[in-house]
Amino acid sequence: MKKYSDRQTTLAGSVPLKGIGVHSGDPAMVTLHPADAGSGIVFVGQDPESRAEVEMPAHWQAVSATALCTVLGDPKAGGVSTVEHLMAALRGLGVDNAIVEMDGPEMPIMDGSAAEFVDAIDQVGLRQLAVPRRYVRVKSTVRVDQGSAWCELRPYDGCRFDVTIDFDTPVIGRQNLVMDLTPDRFRRDLARARTFGSVQDVEKLWSMGFALGSSLENSVAISEDRILNPEGTRWPDEFVRHKMLDAVGDLALAGLPILGEYRSYKGGHRMNHSILVELFERAGADAFEIVEAPFEREAGAVKAPVKAMAAAVGQSPS
C-alpha cells in the first residue's frame, strides 16, 4: 500500500467560486488560495466602511453566532457567515492551510452542500508542505447537554463522527450515521448532502429578512409530510448526512484536525461550537494535547502521532 509523509497540505493553485448568499440573496464570490505551513484557514474580507482588509482566522474563538449558520466575526465589519460547508470540504479533504478571499460578508451557498467546494479543490489539487501535520488529540471525554440534546468528544485513535438526529416529521424521523472521516468517505458519503428545512420555517425567516436566497436549488424543502424537491433526496438519510457535514465543518474550527470521536444527539451549529468551548476552555489541559506526526504511514490508516507538544488551553492551535 502507498505510504506518504504525514505532512501539512495546502492548495496547489487558486480557484474561484461564485453563487449567492443564502440569507442575503445577493451575489457572492470567493477565491481559494494556497497558504504557507502553519497558517491554518484564514478568511480575508473587507470592512464595508473603511474598505480596510480584514483577516479572520477560521477558529472557534472567532465564532460570533450559531443560530442559523456559523458566523465568524461581524459580517458588517469584515466578518463572514455560513462558513461551515467550505470548512467541511477543507477538513474532509485534508487541507490544512488556505486563504479564503471574500468579496462580501457571506459565503455562496452553492447547491446547499459541500460538493462544489470539493470539485473546486480537486480541480487545483493539493500540495504537501515540508512541515509535519499537527493534531488536537482528545485525552478524556468532554460533554455538553442542552435539554434533551447532547454532544461529546471522546478519545479515539482516528477521527470518527457518530451523529443522531430525531425530528417529529415522518419524512425525517430518527436517523443515525457513524463514519471514520477520510477524504474518500467524505467525497462519496457526505459532500453532496444538502441543507434542509420546513417551508413554514423558511417563510418565517423570509418575513424576518433571512434566508432570502433559499430555494429548491440549494436546499431540501419539507412541507407537512412530503419533500417538495422534484428530484427527492440524494440518499434516504440525506438529512443526517448533512448534519454530519455541518459537524465536520464546525469542528474544523478547532484549528487543527481532531483525533477523537464526536458523538451528538439532536445537535447543530450551537452544540458543535459548544463542545469546542468545553474542550479548550472548561475541561482543562488534561482533556487534550497538541501532537504532531512527522513519520510515514499507510494511506487510509490513522496512526497515533508520536510527538506531543505543549499547548495553552484556549489559545489558537495554529
Question: Could you read off the pLDDT of 107-133 as tens digits, one per residue?
Answer: 999 999 999 999 999 999 999 999 999
- Pairing mode, strands 258-265 and 134-138: parallel
What was the pLDDT predicted at 295? 47
Q: Which CATH number fits domain 3-309: 3.40.50.720, 1.10.10.10, 3.40.50.10490, 3.30.1700.10?
A: 3.30.1700.10
Question: What are the residues facing 175 on neighbouring strands?
Answer: 165
* SS3 labels along 173-184: CEEEEEEECCHH
Q: Pick the residue with more confidence: 213 or 318? A: 213
pLDDT of 86 higher than 70: yes
The tens digit of pLDDT for each residue in 243-284 reads 999 999 999 999 999 999 999 999 999 999 999 999 999 887
What was the pLDDT predicted at 307? 52
Please, are residues 136 and 12 in contact by the beta-carbon 8 Å criterion? no
pLDDT of 16 higher than 90: yes
Rounded mean pLDDT of 27-46? 96
- The pLDDT > 90 percentage for the chain reads 76
Single out the residue of 128, 131, 144, 178 nearest to residue 158, CA to CA: 178
What was the pLDDT predicted at 208? 74
What was the pLDDT predicted at 50? 83
pLDDT of 136 higher than 50: yes
- The pLDDT > 70 percentage for the chain reads 90
What was the pLDDT predicted at 51? 83
The average confidence (pLDDT) of the chain is 90
Please, which pLDDT band fits residue 294 given cuts at 50, 70 and 90? Answer: low
What was the pLDDT predicted at 297? 45
Query: Is position 33 annotated in a ligand binding site?
Result: no
27 three-class SS = strand
The tens digit of pLDDT for each residue in 169-199 reads 999 999 999 999 999 999 999 999 999 999 8
Distance of alpha carbon 267 from alpha carbon 246, whole angstroms: 10
pLDDT of 304 higher than 60: no
Half-sphere exposure of 176 (CA within 13 A, CB side): 5
pLDDT of 318 higher than 90: no
For 112, list phi and psi in degrees, rounded to 5.
90, 0
Say if pTM beats, i.e. exceeds, 0.95: no
Which amino acid would we find at residue 36? D
Distance of alpha carbon 27 from alpha carbon 40, whole angstroms: 27
pLDDT of 303 higher than 80: no
Catalytic positions: 269
